[in-house]
């Protein structure tokens, strides 16, 4: 079994990131983000790599000085069950805490996964309105959304 290591991505990782997330985009579980959008936000991502291959990633998106979001979390199917997703989320939450953010939320189909990490379910209506209009309207499931909103207080 090869070692998994975690790091911030390079722009050269975008191609692998896009290939990894493509099946989840097609299924509607993750929103499509073009290469330019990923490049612009490259510092928000945390990668999991095995050898030179991207096997998972997630992003910490800052909404306000007190609120951030874990989004675009993906782990390669062949590497699931190895706690890679857990480590990515924990790194995102740690980064948010270091920045002084008080709460981190997520919109997800994986409620139990996030609850195991200390997130609690909240009504989607309690999320910032700009989240709904900026991201959710791009989703093929909008406005009939069955994702769950969860939040964790970190400060």
DSSP string, the chain: -PPEEEE---GGGHHHHHHHHHHHHHHTSS----HHHHHHTGGGEEEEEETTEEEEEEEEEE-SSSEEEEEEEEE-GGGTTSSHHHHHHHHHHHHHHHHT--EEEEEES-HHHHHHTT-EEE-GGGS-HHHHHHTGGGSTTTTS---EEEEEE--
pLDDT of residue 153: 97
**pLDDT by residue (tens digit) across 57-109?**
999 999 999 999 999 999 999 999 999 999 999 999 999 999 999 999 998 98
Residues 62, 18: Cα–Cα separation, whole Å:
22
pLDDT of residue 130: 60
Q: What is the mean pLDDT of residues 4-16?
A: 97
Cα angle 38, 44, 46; round to 5? 95
Band of the pLDDT at 139, cuts 50, 70, 90? Answer: low
Q: What is the mean pLDDT of residues 118-130?
A: 86
Residues 140, 155: Cα–Cα separation, whole Å:
35
**pLDDT by residue (tens digit) across 20-57?**
999 998 887 888 899 999 999 999 999 999 999 999 99
Domains recognised in the chain with CATH numbers: 4-153 (3.40.630.30)
pLDDT of residue 136: 55
Cα angle 25, 142, 133; round to 5? 100
pTM: 0.90
């Amino acid at each position: 079994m090869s070692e998994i290591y975690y790091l911030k991505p390079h722009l050269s990782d975008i191609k692998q990131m896009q290939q990894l997330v493509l099946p989840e985009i097609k299924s509607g579980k993750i929103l499509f983000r073009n290469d330019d959008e990923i490049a612009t936000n490259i510092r928000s991502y945390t990668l999991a790599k095995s050898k030179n291959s991207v096997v998972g990633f997630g992003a910490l998106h800052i909404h306000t000085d007190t609120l951030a979001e874990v989004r675009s979390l993906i782990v390669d199917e062949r590497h699931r069950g190895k706690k890679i997703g857990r480590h990515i989320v924990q790194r995102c939450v740690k980064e948010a805490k270091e920045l002084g953010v008080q709460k981190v939320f997520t919109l997800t189909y994986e409620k139990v996964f996030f609850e195991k990490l200390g997130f609690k379910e909240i009504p989607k209506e309690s999320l910032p309105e700009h989240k709904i209009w900026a991201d959710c309207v791009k989703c093929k499931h909008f406005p009939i959304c069955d994702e769950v909103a969860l939040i964790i207080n970190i400060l």
